[in-house]
Structure formats: structure tokens, C-alpha cells
Structure 1
Amino acid sequence: MPLLALPFPAIDPVALAIGPITIKWYALAYIAGLIGGWYYARRLVMANSLWGVVKRPQVVDIDDLVVWVALGVVLGGRIGYVLFYNLPMYLADPMEILAIRNGGMSFHGGFLGAILAFLLFARAKKLNGYTLLDIGAVVVPIGLFFGRIANFVNGELWGRVAPDFPYAIVFPTGGPLPRHPSQLYEAVTEGLLLFIVMALSVRRFGFRKPGLLGGIFVLGYALARIVCEFFREPDRQLGFLFGDHLGPMGGGVTMGMLLCVPMMIVGLTYIVLAGTGRTRPRNPVAASDPQEASREAPAKA
């Protein structure tokens, strides 16, 4: 092992095995993200001070929404990986698309799948789609944090070679050279840091400007992901899309970076639209808090 390197911790990817049934940490990460997001979302819809005159979903709506979002994330994540990262392989062997146990999920695909689930649910329940997306924006970093920790436990999606970095790790599947633990960088930035940003944003703005929190999240994630991509090894089947020596770690533009560009544009757009009041409902319901209603009344006029 190189002198400046840490050994990869011997963590079994299988958290629990009962006969032929195995439960992996990666599956538990999805479950933890969904349960944590569900609990936090319930707390948010019960907080009167966050809503003003904007119609909010009921607690029972959040209970039903979890199932829709879970399907959207899993299906979207898998379809996104197939389309964005390894389409030739899956065209050659279409049945491999169903082999989720072998890995292969895309955040950007899961993100689009979750958005579709939110919008379809909003339409089915006659709720404000922007509002549901804002709730999702506040709670999603919980799942991102646990998901990236699971990536580290699995020893996958490791970082670029870093022979002089004192906390580099030699991953069993990454060859003999020490690498950046980029999964942990993403857990901290896309998960913990973004969770704090969204918690402060919802405390400051509430849900009074539909679309604002969603815009902040999309922009924040795109920026965090682009920064982390400079330390993350690109997918082997894709490599660098173009550019030879960009950024502090060398290399070029990756698929992860490229997919974040439209996210930045969408995030900025919705921040502007929400900030100028263009996403506000024309016929808001009466506020649960009379003081909030009186504060919102001038804006309504």
C-alpha cells in the first residue's frame, strides 16, 4: 500500500442475510431516505407558520405521496442510468435492464422520475405542483446523504487517483493506487450541506413563494455535484466527454457535469419566477394563521 493512503474499511455490503434473502446497505439507504423524508415532510405540512395563504397538502397526502415518489426514484434512476451512462450495453442485452441487483442508478434519472411523480400526484389530488416540489426539495438531501454513504460502503463510484492526499483510500475495486473518497465528499456537500441550506431556506421563506425552494435545491445540487465531479473518477465506459486538463484535478468534462448544466438553468429560472411572484396561485386559500393572512393580503392585492 502507498505510504500516503488509508486502507478501505472492511464493511460487508450485505447488512442482513437470512437464508437466501439478503438485505444490502444500499437498499437500507433508500429506505432510510424515504422514511426520513416522509417524517420531515409531515412536520413541514403541520407547521402553520410556513404556509401563509398558500394551500398546503394534508398529512395523509404525504403518506400517499411516499409510494409515488419511491416508484419515481427507482424507475427514473434505472432508466436514467440506462439512457445516460451505458445504453450500448443494455441494447445488446435488454434483459440486463431488469437486473437492478447488479447496480446502476442515476441521480439525474431518479430526480426526473421523482419530479414526474410529484406532478402526477399533485394533479390526481388537485394540489399545487410547485408546493409539492418545494417540500421534496427540502427533504431530498436526507436520501442523498444516506445514498452516498452506501456508495462508500459498496466501494463504488470512487474518486480520482490522489497519491499525495493524506486521506486517500485504496478501494478494492479501484486498483492499487490511493483515490479520493469522493462518495464522502458528495455525502457532505449534496447531503449534509444542502440539507442545512434547505432547512435555513424553509425557515426564512417558508412555502409562501411556490417554486422558490425547488429552485434553490436544484441550483445548489448542481453546483455541489459539479465541484465533486472534479474529484470523482468518471464512469469507465464514458470517460471524459471532452477537454483534457480542466479543473484542479485535471481531466475534462464528465457526464455528471453536463447533466447539471440544465439543472442550473432551471434552478435559476424558478428562483427568479418565484421571487417575482409569478408562481403564486391566483386564488390562494385562507391561511391557517390569521397573522400570516394579514401579512400576505397586501401582496395579494
Structure 2
Amino acid sequence: MFLNELYHSLNPVAFSLGPLSVHWYGIAYLAGFALAAWVIWRVSRRWELDLTADDIMSIVIGVAFGVIIGARLFYVLFYGAGYYLEHPLEIFALNQGGMSFHGGLVGAVVGGSIVCRTYHISIPTVCDLGVIGAPWGLFFGRCANFVNGELWGKETSLPWGVMFPTGGNVYRHPSQLYEAVLEGLVIFCVLFALSRRRPARPQGTFMGVFLVLYGVFRFLVEFVRVPDAQLGYLFGPITMGQCLSLPLVVLGVVVLVLSRRLNRPQVGHL
């Protein structure tokens, strides 16, 4: 179990400065947003959009706030199972974990849209640019989940199984790394390859592909991932994560169909 040895050599705390401890989870968020901003800048240059570095920085900051607020609110509403009604102050305890990708996606769209409206920038184009860079945030976030020993999978006898401290005395699927590869690396490679065509593909193409791929990958990985303890399985083998992912696939197909029919070019400022 080579991966098990690697896991037990890792520490969730990256480094400490006196009483301040910096966790890999926080570094993962920072790295994800920074790399996403770089990808957006690179792709916008290739598409010859009139977006400045200040425009992109403002968009990324708006998206960052939206992701954090949306991810936390969705977790509280859909995964809290009534706990936060009894402990409302715990809603603000972000250091204890509890973030939902689906809420982060909604928050990112809302936060980015507010900035785009303020600076008169095309929202559909920014959505397409954003999802090309977003997989890096997913990749680093899932790797941080692995280091933290959370969101692990079901029991396995495969040679890369990991024995997590909170998962009992059994080897489990490192489902965090499955998601890091599929939701992060694979989706990025697909979208970045599509982005290299000039002129750029129509508005909505990249958002549609992202939604379909993420929804499918998340739905599949959920079969080997143990659901949140407070929720368990909703019905049969179906989890909350799968119920929230199926609508993404449907929405992604709709966006792709509309993108093809409308065939609107990518633009920067309106």
C-alpha cells in the first residue's frame, strides 16, 4: 500500500509562525485562484479579448468571494442535516471544513457576474474563461482533502488503498485523488485543448462541457466514496452529491445546445 505510506508522512499543517498555523487547505485555495487567474489571462490573450490585468484581477476576487460564501451556504443547507439550526455560530467556522462544490459554482457565477456588470464585461465569455481555469482549484482542493484525511472512499483491497485515521482499521479508496485527477486534470486538459482553436469557439461551449464532465465524473466517483455521515444514502446507493450532480449534466447539455444554435462569438467589454 504505497499510497498509504505517503499519506501518513503528510501533515495537514504546512508550516507554523508562532501561534499561527497555515494549513494546506488554505494554500490550496490560494494556489487554485492564482493559477486560475493565470489561465484566464493566457486564454484571453489567445482569444484577443480586450480584458486588462485589472479586469481579470477584479473578476477573480469577485469569484473568490462568491465561491467561499456559496460553498459554505450550500453545505449548511444541503449537508448540515439540521446541525446548524442548533449551532448557528458554527456556520462561520470555516476552519472546521464543510464546503460544497455545487454551492461554490453558483457563488462563482453570482460573484463574477456582479463584477462583470460593474465593468460592462460579457458574462458568458467570463464564465467560459472561468471554467477553463477552475479545474486547478478543484485539483488542489481535492489534494488538500486527501492530506486532511477527509471525504475518503469505501473499503478496498487495491494496492493504492489508504488507511485513514477516521476511517477505521481498513484500507479505503483515496476517492479524493480520483476526483483530483478527473475533476481537475482531465477537465482542464479537455477545456484547454478546446480553447486553443482560433477563432474561439462560441460562448457557452466551455461552460457546457465543464458542467457535463464534472457532473458525470462526480456522479461516478460517488459510487466508491462514503457519503457524509450525517446524511448517508438518500435512497438505494444514491447520495446527495449525485442528486446535485445530475442537474449539472442536464444543464450542461442545454447550454451546449444553446451555444451551438446562437453561435455568439467570445467578446470582452460590451
**1:270 pairs with 2:255:** yes
- Give aligned-pair identity as a percent: 41
User: For residues 149 and 5 of structure 1, do their structure 2 counterparts lie closer, same or farther at Cα, with a shift above 3 Å needed?
Assistant: closer
- CA radius of gyration, larger in: 1
Shift of 1:208: 4.1
CA contact (8 A) 1:56 1:131 kept: no
Shift of 1:124: 1.1
What residue is the counterpart of 1:19 in the other structure?
18
User: For residues 268 and 213 of structure 1, do their structure 2 counterparts lie closer, same or farther at Cα, with a shift above 3 Å needed?
Assistant: same
* Separation in structure 2 between the aligned mates of residue 4 and residue 33 of structure 1, nearest angstrom: 27
1:260 to 245, 257, 267: 245
1:188 to 178, 181, 186: 181
1:50-94, Cα deviation, whole Å (9 max, x unpaired): 35xxx6533320011121111011111111110110140000110
User: For residues 56 and 133 of structure 1, do their structure 2 counterparts lie closer, same or farther at Cα, with a shift above 3 Å needed?
Assistant: farther
5+ residue gaps, structure 2:
none
What residue is the counterpart of 1:114 in the other structure?
108
CA contact (8 A) 1:45 1:58 kept: no
What residue is the counterpart of 1:141 in the other structure?
135
* Separation in structure 2 between the aligned mates of residue 56 and residue 166 of structure 1, nearest angstrom: 50
**1:9 pairs with 2:8:** yes
The 4+ residue runs of structure 1 with deviation greater than 6 A are none
Q: For residue 247 of structure 2, what is the amino acid of its counterpart?
A: P
Shift of 1:280: 5.2
CA contact (8 A) 1:14 1:24 kept: yes
> Equivalent residue of 1:240, what SS?
coil
* Separation in structure 1 between the aligned mates of residue 155 and residue 41 of structure 2, nearest angstrom: 43
> Equivalent residue of 2:165, what SS?
coil
5+ residue gaps, structure 1:
244-251, 287-301
* Separation in structure 2 between the aligned mates of residue 44 and residue 87 of structure 1, nearest angstrom: 41
User: Where do residues 133-282 of structure 1 align in structure 2 (5 Å cutoff)?
Assistant: 133-162=127-156, 164-204=157-197, 207-243=200-236, 252-277=237-262, 279=264
CA contact (8 A) 1:45 1:59 kept: no
User: For residues 109 and 135 of structure 1, do their structure 2 counterparts lie closer, same or farther at Cα, with a shift above 3 Å needed?
Assistant: same
> Equivalent residue of 2:14, what SS?
strand
CA contact (8 A) 2:70 2:108 kept: yes
What residue is the counterpart of 1:294 in the other structure?
none
* Separation in structure 1 between the aligned mates of residue 134 and residue 268 of structure 2, nearest angstrom: 27
Shift of 1:119: 1.4
* Separation in structure 2 between the aligned mates of residue 116 and residue 206 of structure 1, nearest angstrom: 28
CA contact (8 A) 1:5 1:165 kept: no
Shift of 1:149: 0.4
Q: For residue 255 of structure 1, what is the amino acid of its counterpart?
A: M
Shift of 1:206: 5.6
* Separation in structure 2 between the aligned mates of residue 120 and residue 56 of structure 1, nearest angstrom: 19
Shift of 1:118: 1.7
* Separation in structure 2 between the aligned mates of residue 57 and residue 86 of structure 1, nearest angstrom: 40
* Separation in structure 1 between the aligned mates of residue 268 and residue 18 of structure 2, nearest angstrom: 54
CA contact (8 A) 2:200 2:265 kept: no
Normalization by structure 1: what TM-score? Answer: 0.84
* Separation in structure 2 between the aligned mates of residue 192 and residue 4 of structure 1, nearest angstrom: 22
**1:131 pairs with 2:125:** yes
What residue is the counterpart of 1:292 in the other structure?
none
2:85 to 74, 88, 91: 91
CA contact (8 A) 1:85 1:238 kept: yes
**Which stretch of the first structure deviates more once superposed, 67-76 or 207-216?**
207-216
What residue is the counterpart of 1:34 in the other structure?
33
Q: For residue 206 of structure 2, what is the amino acid of its counterpart?
A: L
* Separation in structure 1 between the aligned mates of residue 40 and residue 229 of structure 2, nearest angstrom: 37
Relative to its length, the structure with more helix (as a share) is 2
1:264-291, Cα deviation, whole Å (9 max, x unpaired): 111101111111125558xx799xxxxx
Shift of 1:207: 3.8
Q: For residue 268 of structure 1, what is the amino acid of its counterpart?
A: V
In the alignment of these two chains, the number of paired residues is: 268
